[in-house]
Amino acid sequence: MTGSEAAPPAIDTSRPHPARVYDWWLGGKDNYPVDEALARRILAVDGTVVRGARANRRFMHRAVRAAAEAGLRQFLDIGTGIPTEPNLHQVAQGIAPESKIVYADNDPIVLRHAEALLHSTAEGSTTYVHADVRDPDTILRLASETLDFTRPVALSLVALTHYLSDEPDRDDAYGLLKRYVSKLAAGSFLILSQVTPDLSPEAVERAADQFRRSGTPFFPRSLADFSRFFDGLEFLGPGVIPVSGWRPEPEDVAAQAEGIVPVYAGVARKP
Ligand SMILES: C[S@@+](CC[C@H](N)C(=O)[O-])C[C@H]1O[C@@H](n2cnc3c(N)ncnc32)[C@H](O)[C@@H]1O
């Protein structure tokens, strides 16, 4: 099942899209020459982006496993991206087949892949919503057809908030996150990662500049600014930390040895 408010726009191959650029870094095939060109330009100014995309994806797996192992059975993942196995529902339903997942993204190419995201176990369910994160009313309304918001939900925005401005008259990123979190029951989790200027400021600024020139606003955040998204919540594990350091597994320890990637991650619980 998919939910959408309007017919999705056609796939625009004349300008790069973040989901498709990220797909190229992950070695996927669902990107166009214009995406590959930007992905390569960014790679040329920040040599960590391929490792960063992989490390970010592995963080999503670990964070979802942590939520499932803590007993959560409902997941709302916004800014899902083009399917790359294992996808979130495969991780969650691999631990608890009855888990319910709602994916949301605003890119028509992700909608086109929704079927691939919707393979569920008999007990669980997976739903896709074509919508913009900046429209919480629509996402929460359509998600509530699958999820019970009186019970805990793991809300994930993994590598998404760096596309959102803080400014109240633009995206109001902090206000937006608060609106989502305010709808969550006690015991819910917030799972976030995003690019930071703290660890390699010049390379990240050059990469951000490439995104902006291509028409995608880009907002790296410092440790303090990223941590603000978790205000009022209780951190799990190490708190906000470079992405491969969040409850690392042997593969992440090996990745860290290759050098740090400029992405922060954190997981927190609503008290
Ligand atoms: C870098 S990808 C991350 C994909 C996945 N969460 C992961 O970490 O592997 C960012 C995703 O956010 C989506 N996105 C960007 N802006 C969005 C918005 N305003 N509303 C919904 N999704 C958005 C893009 O289409 C893309 O799929």
- The 10s digit of each residue's pLDDT in 149-202 is 999 999 999 999 999 999 999 999 999 999 999 999 999 999 999 999 999 999
The atom of ligand 1 lying closest to the CA of 107 is 25
Ligand 1 neighbours, Cβ below 6 Å, are 18-19, 22, 56-57, 60, 78-81, 105-107, 110, 132-134, 158-160, 163
Distance CA 33, CA 269 (A): 41
What's the gap in Å between 53 CA and the centre of ligand 1? 12
d(CA 39, CA 251): 24
Q: How far apart are CA 61 and CA 54, in angstroms?
A: 11
Q: What is the DSSP letter of 9?
A: P
- Confidence (pLDDT) at 10: 87
For tokens 């793991």, the residue is: 154
In this predicted structure, the answer to whether residue 1 has a pLDDT above a threshold of 80 is no
Distance of CA 246 to the CA centre of its chain: 15
Stated pTM of the model: 0.96
Report how far ligand 1's centroid is from the alpha carbon of 268 (Å): 20
How many A from CA of 17 to the centre of ligand 1? 10
The answer to whether residue 4 scores a pLDDT higher than 60 is: no
Q: Whose CA is nearest to atom 8 of ligand 1?
A: 158
Q: Residue 156 CA: which ligand 1 atom is closest?
A: 6
Pairing of the two strands 154-158 and 189-195: parallel
**Chain segment 104-149, per-residue pLDDT in tens:** 999 999 999 988 888 877 788 999 999 999 999 999 999 999 999 9
Report which ligand 1 atom has the smallest distance to the Cα of 79: 12
